[in-house]
Amino acid sequence: MRKKIEVLPKLLSAWTVLVLVFLFIPISLVFLHSFNYGGSFTIWSGRASTKWWGELFNGGVMYGVLIRFAVVVVAGVVFARITKRRENFSKRVSSLILPLTFVFAIVLNGLMTEWYRTIFDFAGIGDSIRNSFIAAFGATVIAVLIGGMSGVALARRPGGWTKFFMATVFLILVTPEIMDAIALATWFPRIKAIPVIGIIFSSGWGPFNGGINKLWVGQSLYSSAVVTLIVRARLSGLDEALEEAAADLGAPPGRAFRQITLPLIASAMVAGALLSFALCLDNAVISTLISEAGSTTFPVALLGATRSTIKPFWGVGAVLLFIVTLGALWFLAVILRRGGDSASKIAATFTGS
């Protein structure tokens, strides 16, 4: 019996390793073939080269972006450590230094590179990558606003309506994406005739064309349901005593939410936002049916490129999106860890349980 008990963990460990190897071998091949010297992404030429990276990116501008980003982030880390040693410095403000530094680095580099347009030498792929990030960011903002408020309502105002609402949320999650895409493709032309709203989805507003606005709405559907579950799960496990105490002391509902509830769900909102961003970044089905000229995302452009020989620079773009996704998840784990969450709580936040 003891031998069986000792053998089982080893078998499970070996099985876990095999599963991870099986999952990550294709990803490793994408990294490898992005350095392929030949002109085909799928056929390895036997020689590695960075020429396709050089064709996609403007080397000088790219190095400048990386150096500025590194300098700003390092300065933020040093400043955060200095403020932690000072007793007169607010802990809440100190905890926001790193996220704000990260955002400042992104904005600073964006302003100096025409919002990352000049870092690409290959305009077609560069514009599709930029559109992917713009669409994912806008859809994430919508998802956080809708999903965050929905999660708070489900956790703090339960009632008969919650069953219907939760059924709707799960229906969104299980509905095939192709169904959502076809529905949106038939819905957007119908609302173009509606005053004001129709202009947003036809002519667009500001620097964003109608296709980008469609992508924001379409990609936020699934993400809103994900954020709703994450915020609801986070808030359901927290006692309402603090919020009730604030109400007893005469705090208006808005102030109680701003000073009590919002800090409690901040990590869940960040978790939902980053997961939403990762989900929207590589959305292909909805983007294919509702995107327009000038709003083509990277997955849509890649699907169009499969009709001929796929060049290795498409692998370079895929690697870039993968690195950004991993970076977002790592950033989320750091924020949750700094908030005092254990590994199990971080995993629960990721899964919305």
227 and 206 co-located in one domain: yes
225 and 321 co-located in one domain: yes
Write out the two tokens for 75: 């300065």
From 85, 101, 119, the end of a domain falls on 119
| Predicted TM-score (pTM) of this structure | 0.78
127 and 112 co-located in one domain: no
Supply the pLDDT for residue 82. Answer: 77
pLDDT tens digits, 199-215: 777 776 766 777 888 88
In a domain, 18, yes or no: no
141 lies in which domain range? 122-351
pLDDT tens digits, 40-75: 888 788 788 877 787 777 777 878 888 888 888 888
115 and 133 co-located in one domain: no
Number of domains, the chain: 2
94 and 139 co-located in one domain: no
65 and 130 co-located in one domain: no
Which residues, given as ranges, of the chain have pLDDT below 50? 1
From 101, 119, 137, the end of a domain falls on 119
Supply the pLDDT for residue 311. Answer: 81
Supply the pLDDT for residue 351. Answer: 53
Q: How many other CB atoms sit within 10 Å of the CB of residue 279?
A: 18
93 and 167 co-located in one domain: no
Supply the pLDDT for residue 1. Answer: 47
Q: The domain spanning residue 290 has which CATH number?
A: 1.10.3720.10
**Cβ-Cβ contacts under 8 Å for 210 (sequence gap 6 or more):** 200, 201, 202, 203, 204, 292, 295
169 and 203 co-located in one domain: yes
Supply the pLDDT for residue 213. Answer: 84
